[in-house]
Amino acid sequence: MSSTKHFIEDSIKKAGVDEFLWKEFERAGYGGVEITKTPLGTNIVIYAMRPGMIIGRGGATIKNLAKILEEKFGLPNPQISVAEIEVPELNARVMASRIASALRRNIHFRRAGFWALSRIMEAGAMGAEIVISGKLRTERARSEKFRDGYLPKSGDPAMKYVQTAVTHVQLKPGVFGIKVSIMPPNVKLPDEIEFIEKEELKEEIPSESEKREEEAKKEEEIVADSES
């Protein structure tokens, strides 16, 4: 197998695991997964708002999950750990699930979009964009964007820092699509210029009293040399 095909298959497998976990633990506030292969097996870190729902009573749920991931996705010896999301408003998956939940409760899409956007920006995000598409008001599908702050669309910052999540929700008019993009805070962008002020070294000017003391010392040295 070529290296390119290996990486493609590995990425497809990770995407499948991610999609499965999102559907399985959406109520737990699923926020993403990290999969790392080691010589002893596979380390899996699941991020969620409510880790207890994933762990289960006595660890029963997480043990069953390890069996499913090993049998269904072929992950050797999966070692699963669950980490709690500190700021859910800065996680694109969590906010996309919240918007989907609001739409299921018949909340107007604009109200849900502006609410989610304000929560994201209040949490300290540099920028955010929410796109809701579907049969919003008429029989013809359209999309509407809710955007605030700074959000790069291309280049290295967009690929490296911007978190993006896409989910779908089935409603009476049809399927609605929800896309959430978040630019996290405290990101140092490559186009930011920092000016460093160079401190000028100031030579210390001796005072009159110091000058007199130095002259007196020199005279004493000259007298001592002449006497010797």
100 pLDDT band (50/70/90 cuts)?
A: very high
Query: Are residue 140 and residue 95 in the same domain, yes or no?
Result: yes
For residues 167 and 31, give the distance between their C-alpha atoms in angstroms, rounded to a whole number.
13
Is 197 domain-assigned?
no
Mean pLDDT of 204-227: 67
201 pLDDT band (50/70/90 cuts)?
A: very low
- Arithmetic mean of pLDDT over the chain: 84
Query: Are residue 104 and residue 60 in the same domain, yes or no?
Result: no
Mean pLDDT of 130-153: 90
Note whether 181 and 163 are within 8 A (CB). Answer: yes
Query: Are residue 77 and residue 93 in the same domain, yes or no?
Result: no
For residues 86 and 6, give the distance between their C-alpha atoms in angstroms, rounded to a whole number.
34
Whole domain around residue 150: which residue ranges? 89-183
Percentage, residues of the chain above pLDDT 70: 90
Domain boundary among 54, 85, 116: 85
Is 130 domain-assigned?
yes
Is 26 domain-assigned?
yes
Judge whether residue 1 has pLDDT over 80: no
Is 134 domain-assigned?
yes
Structural domain count, the chain: 2
Note whether 91 and 47 are within 8 A (CB). Answer: yes
Mean pLDDT of 127-144: 90
Query: Are residue 97 and residue 171 in the same domain, yes or no?
Result: yes
Mean pLDDT of 60-66: 88
Domain boundary among 64, 85, 106: 85
- Residue 70 burial (10 A CB sphere; 0-12, 13-18, 19+): middle
**Which has the closest alpha carbon to 102: 47, 42, 146?**
146
Query: Are residue 58 and residue 99 in the same domain, yes or no?
Result: no
Residue-level pLDDT at 70: 85
Task: Render pLDDT for 20-30 as a digit per residue (tens, 0 to 9).
Answer: 888 888 888 88
Task: Render pLDDT for 112-125 as a digit per residue (tens, 0 to 9).
Answer: 999 999 999 999 99
Query: Are residue 101 and residue 169 in the same domain, yes or no?
Result: yes
Provide the CATH number for the domain around residue 154: 3.30.1140.32
Provide the CATH number for the domain around residue 34: 3.30.300.20
Query: Are residue 79 and residue 132 in the same domain, yes or no?
Result: no
Percentage, residues of the chain above pLDDT 90: 26
18 pLDDT band (50/70/90 cuts)?
A: confident
Note whether 93 and 80 are within 8 A (CB). Answer: no
Query: Are residue 70 and residue 101 in the same domain, yes or no?
Result: no
Structure tokens at 5: 């095909």
Query: Are residue 137 and residue 175 in the same domain, yes or no?
Result: yes
Is 202 domain-assigned?
no
Mean pLDDT of 31-43: 87
Mean pLDDT of 183-199: 77
Higher-scoring residue by pLDDT: 35, 194: 35
Query: Are residue 109 and residue 35 in the same domain, yes or no?
Result: no
